[in-house]
Amino acid sequence: MSRRQQYVPGPAANATIDKDGDNWTLVLVRELKHAPEKVWSALTDPAQLREWAPFESDANLGTSGTVANLSTVGSPKPHVTETKVIRADAPRLLEFTWADRDIRWELEPKNGGTRLTLWANIDRNWIAMGASGWHVALDVLDRMLSGWPIGRIAGPEAMQVNEWNRLIGEYATLLGVEPPRWAANAGG
């Protein structure tokens, strides 16, 4: 059995929601054993993004003002949006938009590794699913940086991960939201 087939996401953790009316922002924190410079490269370099992120970029995202096309992975139809890097302060802070939603990454050195914090605007009806998708993406990122890649798992493919519905249910509980009906009624 491959490493990818053996992959099971850990429990939901370290997530909150910042609410401003109908504008909800998922805040997800992950402790990584890798230096901020290494994590920064994985967040900005198109070749590394292809290994873990739920989008592909046609340009390096490491410089403020960069304009890039981001292609959403796993969309039923091709979905490409133009983004502009709002702020890039290597290796601490990266802000850009993806499909008209704000994405912000903050990297803090911690215990020889990095505390990585993601702020992502997500529609309130999909926030538990979005948290689950980012959880899986960050697991894939961590394994890639550790030299144990399992390949990108995003979009509909993420929904096939072992215990996906459990993860959505855990995030729904943690975030105080209702899980999607189909996830609440499904096993796995």
Give domain status of residue 95, yes or no: yes
The pTM (predicted TM-score) of the whole model is: 0.93
- Which helix (H) or strand (E) covers residue 132, if one does? helix 127-145
Give the domain CATH number at 109.
Answer: 3.30.530.20
pLDDT digits 0-9 by tens, 20-35: 988 999 999 999 999 9
Number of domains in the chain: 1
Strand partners, 155: none
Once rounded to an integer, what is the mean pLDDT over residues 125-140? 96
Count of helices and strands (H, E) across the chain: 6, 8
Residue 48, domain extent: 14-178
Give domain status of residue 45, yes or no: yes
Residue carrying the six token digits 């009906």? 181
